[in-house]
Structure 1
Amino acid sequence: MHSQFWTPVMLSIQTACAAGLIAMISGTLAGRAMAKSSFRGKVLLETLFLAPIVLPPTVVGFFLIVIFGRTSPIGQFIEAVFQQPIMFTWWAAVFASAVVAFPLMYQSAKSGFSGNYRALEESARDLGADERRVFWHITLPLAFPALLSGAILSFVRALGEFGATFMFAGNIPGRTQTLPLAIYMAMDAGNMELAWLWVLLTVSLSLAFLAVIQVLHTKWLG
Structure 2
Amino acid sequence: MLSDFEFQALLLSLKVASVSSIFLIPFGISIGFFLARRNFFGKGVFDSIIHLPLVLPPVVIGYLLLITLGQQSALGYWLNETMGIVFSFNWKGAVIACMVVSLPLMVRAIRLNIETFDRKYEQAAATLGASPIRVFFTITLPLITPGIITGTMLSFARSLGEFGATISFVSNIPGETQTIPLAMFNFIETPGGEEGAMRLCIISVAIALSSLLVSEWLTRISRRHSEG
What TM-score, normalized to structure 1?
0.93
Equivalences for 1:117-156 in 2 at 5 Å? 117-156=118-157
Stretch deviating more after TM superposition (154-163 or 203-212): 203-212
Query: What is the CA–CA distance in structure 1 between the aligned matches of 2:133 and 2:187, rounded to whole Å?
Result: 52
CA contact (8 A) 1:78 1:86 kept: no
Equivalences for 1:146-185 in 2 at 5 Å? 146-185=147-186
How many residues in Structure 1 have an aligned counterpart in Structure 2? 221
Equivalences for 1:62-77 in 2 at 5 Å? 62-77=63-78
| Unpaired segments ≥5 residues, structure 2 | none
What TM-score, normalized to structure 2?
0.90
Deviation of 1:85 (Å)? 4.0
CA contact (8 A) 2:6 2:183 kept: no
CA contact (8 A) 1:24 1:154 kept: no
Query: What is the CA–CA distance in structure 2 between the aligned matches of 1:99 and 1:55, rounded to whole Å?
Result: 11
CA contact (8 A) 2:149 2:219 kept: no
Query: What is the CA–CA distance in structure 2 between the aligned matches of 1:64 and 1:81, rounded to whole Å?
Result: 19
Aligned partner of 1:192 in structure 2 is 194
Query: What is the CA–CA distance in structure 2 between the aligned matches of 1:217 and 1:138, rounded to whole Å?
Result: 17
**Secondary structure in 2 matching 1:21:** helix
Segments of 4+ moved more than 6 angstroms? none
Equivalences for 1:16-95 in 2 at 5 Å? 16-83=17-84, 85-95=86-96
CA contact (8 A) 2:17 2:95 kept: yes
Aligned partner of 2:205 in structure 1 is 203
Query: What is the CA–CA distance in structure 1 between the aligned matches of 2:19 and 2:215, rounded to whole Å?
Result: 20
Question: Percent identical across equivalent pairs?
Answer: 34
Stretch deviating more after TM superposition (6-15 or 110-119): 110-119
Deviation of 1:25 (Å)? 2.0
Deviation of 1:70 (Å)? 2.9
Stretch deviating more after TM superposition (145-154 or 135-144): 135-144
**Secondary structure in 2 matching 1:7:** helix
Query: What is the CA–CA distance in structure 2 between the aligned matches of 1:62 and 1:170, rounded to whole Å?
Result: 11
Query: What is the CA–CA distance in structure 2 between the aligned matches of 1:154 and 1:25, rounded to whole Å?
Result: 13
CA contact (8 A) 2:150 2:215 kept: yes
CA contact (8 A) 1:23 1:99 kept: no
Question: Is 2:9 the counterpart of 1:8?
Answer: yes
CA contact (8 A) 1:11 1:178 kept: yes
CA contact (8 A) 1:104 1:154 kept: yes
Deviation of 1:80 (Å)? 1.4
CA contact (8 A) 1:24 1:102 kept: no
Q: Deviations over 1:139-174 (max 9, x none)?
A: 112111111100100111111100000000110000
CA contact (8 A) 1:68 1:86 kept: yes
Q: Aligned-pair RMSD on alpha carbons?
A: 1.7
Deviation of 1:218 (Å)? 5.4
